[in-house]
Amino acid sequence: MPFTMERHERYDPEDIERLLQERPFDALLAEERAYVLRHLSGREEYEAMRALLSQVREDEHRRAPVQAGDEVRAQVLRAFRQEHRPQWRIWLNSLGNMLLPREGATMPLLRPALAIASLALLITVGLWVARHGGTDAAQPLAEAEAPQPKASHAPSPERPAASAPANAAAEPVRPQGAATAPAEARLEDIVRAEPVEQAHAVADGEPATTSLAQREPRDRPGTEAGPHRERAAIAATQSNAAAEGETQQVPGDAGPADAATRAGKTEARAAPPGTLAAMPQLLALMTTGW
Amino acid sequence: MAPFGMDYDRLSDERLMALAAKGDERAFGAVYDRYQHRLINYFHRMLWHDRERARDMLQDLFTKLARNPAGYDAARPFRTWIFSVANNMCKNAYRHQHVVKAAANHLRHAQGHEEPLHGAGVDHERFRRRLDEELDRLDPDHKATFVMRYHEDMAIKDIAAAFGCSEGTVKSRLFYTLKKLAERMKAFDPNAVHHGKA
């Protein structure tokens, strides 16, 4: 059998349909023709089938397609939405059914409106609670105010300058109400209280508890001045501990920062706790222009 | 298209169905838009060119799909799967209409539709009507195979997948359908006219 270069193609022996589409009977290869003739009566039948196939394809191009219409699409998408409705919306609609059980002409309008209104109400309530409820968020960041037991203090009137020594022991223990006194007034009080506080001052490096132990026999709790002197001692101890820490951090360096620190230390010993003066480090930073 | 939105036109059918299963309405709408023309025309040809019935079948098919998008077998190509579903729906319709349509066909042939051709040209409208009638007389599977192949331009392997049969079975069906139709519609054979066998 001669080998034909231009017809070098593979075909499926069962694929008569493809042959019908590709070539007329006269253009078939010998083996293709032999296969076709095994299933068809002859050339006429092959050509009749080939013509019918051509007419069917031509007719397909001529046919006007059938349109479904927009309402079918709308129905289908409505069914989809109904099936995939979010659960929260179902809950709100059931709430609407509970509140307004009678179905009326307005229900289809009220139900989504009820859902939206309920949601808006919840959001509003939530925002209000978040804003006004809970702890008071208006507190300043750095309020120099020591926690004071409220019951034992009465609001103290302005102290006269002559009674400074007698009041000095109680000076560090300031009632809570006086925490907002002007800084100048506090400074005066501190200066006045210095002689008494220096007597209680502990040298740098001594443990803070020593001063408290020393004061114990004199200032027993339960005496008239006991609670006040005890608090003063505690305050002084705190200021001394702060001073010690500062000394350890800045060992012996002379300079404006150091002088300010020492001044701050002195003030801290005399300064009432909870005030800015009671924090020498912070005061030193502010003085040096931090 | 929104700058950050998804371009649904570029997604495959399978991807769109996966999104629809998660509740994406736009994805489901895109699937509907892709297949509604082909399916309604398939139903129209398969169901005796009844336009209303074809619309009802289309709506029924997509409504069932909308209620259960996860029912789509993701292991199969969506195109073959949906035509398989459509074919099964047509078979069910045939079972219900078998008695009615058999009587209608008998009546149609009793009236005689063998109208002679005039001239060498082929009357396309008459050819179409005659072709539709002959297809209605065929076995439903043979008819469906013919329609899928020559009206829907589906590949042999896709038709085989839709029917769940072999490609050889599809080719055999096509061959014998063509042979039968060519024999019944000899009057429209231009070669026969050309050769003086009108």
- The closest CB to that of B32, out of A58, A62, A73, belongs to A73
Distance of CA B191 to the CA centre of its chain: 29
Chain A residues with CB-CB distance to B128 below 8 A: 59, 62-63
Residue B83, SS3 per DSSP: helix
Report the complex ipTM: 0.81
Please report which confidence band the pLDDT of residue A283 belongs to, taking 50, 70 and 90 as the band edges.
Answer: confident
Q: Which of A216-220, B60-64, B72-76 has the highest mean pLDDT?
A: B60-64
Query: What's the whole-model pTM score?
Result: 0.53
CB atoms within 10 A of CB B186: 14
What pLDDT, on a 0 to 100 scale, did the predictor assign at position A117?
84
pLDDT at B62: 96
Cβ atoms within 10 Å of A229's Cβ, excluding its own: 20
Task: Flag if B55 and A77 touch (Cβ within 8 Å).
Answer: no
A252 phi, psi to nearest 5 deg:
65, 15
Burial class of residue A49, CB neighbours in 10 A (0-12, 13-18, 19+): buried
CA distance A131 to A243: 41
pLDDT over threshold 70, residue B100:
no
Q: Do A20 and B178 meet the contact criterion of CB atoms below 8 Å apart? A: yes
Torsions phi, psi for B145 (to 5 deg): -60, -45
**Euclidean distance between CA atoms A144 and B113, whole angstroms:** 109
Question: Regarding predicted confidence, which is higher, A216 or B17?
Answer: B17
- CA dihedral A151→A152→A157→A158, nearest 10 degrees, is -120
Q: What is the mean pLDDT of residues A70-82?
A: 94
Given this model, what pLDDT does residue A18 score?
A: 85
pLDDT greater at residue A94 or residue A80: A80
What is the pLDDT confidence band of residue B12, given thresholds at 50, 70 and 90? very high
Least Cα separation, residue B24 to chain A (angstroms): 9
For residues A39 and A42, give the distance between their C-alpha atoms in angstroms, rounded to a whole number. Answer: 9
3-state secondary structure at position A226: helix
CB nearest B150 (choices: A14, A57, A75): A57
- Report which secondary-structure segment, H or E, holds B31: helix B25-46
- Going by C-alpha positions, the residue among B25, B141, B39 that lies closest to residue A65 is B39
Question: How far apart are the CA of B56 and the nearest CA of chain A, in angstroms?
Answer: 9
Rounded to whole angstroms, the Cα distance separating A273 from A50 reads 110
Average confidence (pLDDT) over A210-222: 44
What number of helices (H) and strands (E) belong to chain A?
A: 12, 0
Q: Which of A4-13, A149-158, A214-223, B107-116 has the highest mean pLDDT?
A: A149-158
Q: Is the pLDDT of residue B16 over 90?
A: yes
Q: Which residue has the higher pLDDT, A141 or B33?
A: B33
- Least Cα separation, residue A54 to chain B (angstroms): 10
Interchain proximity A14–B171, CB inside 8 Å: yes
Average pLDDT over residues A90-113: 60
Q: What is the mean pLDDT of residues A163-182?
A: 46
User: Residue B93, class by beta-carbon neighbours within 10 Å (0-12 exposed, 13-18 middle, 19+ buried)?
Assistant: buried
Residue of A14, A21, A84 to mutate, testing the B interface (most B Cβ within 10 Å of its Cβ) = A84
Average pLDDT score, chain B: 84
pLDDT of residue B85: 95
Establish if B164 touches chain A: CB-CB under 8 angstroms: no
User: Which of the two residues, A198 and A95, has the higher pLDDT score?
Assistant: A95
Most confident of A56-70, A187-201, A215-229, B135-149: B135-149
In this complex, do B171 and A76 lie within 8 Å of one another by their Cβ atoms?
A: no
Mean pLDDT over each residue of chain A, to the nearest integer? 64
Q: Among A61-75, A99-113, B58-72, B101-115, which is the least confidently predicted range? A: B101-115
Which pLDDT does position A179 carry in this prediction? 46
The whole-number pLDDT of residue A126 equals 93
Which chain B residues contact residue A11 at CB under 8 A? none
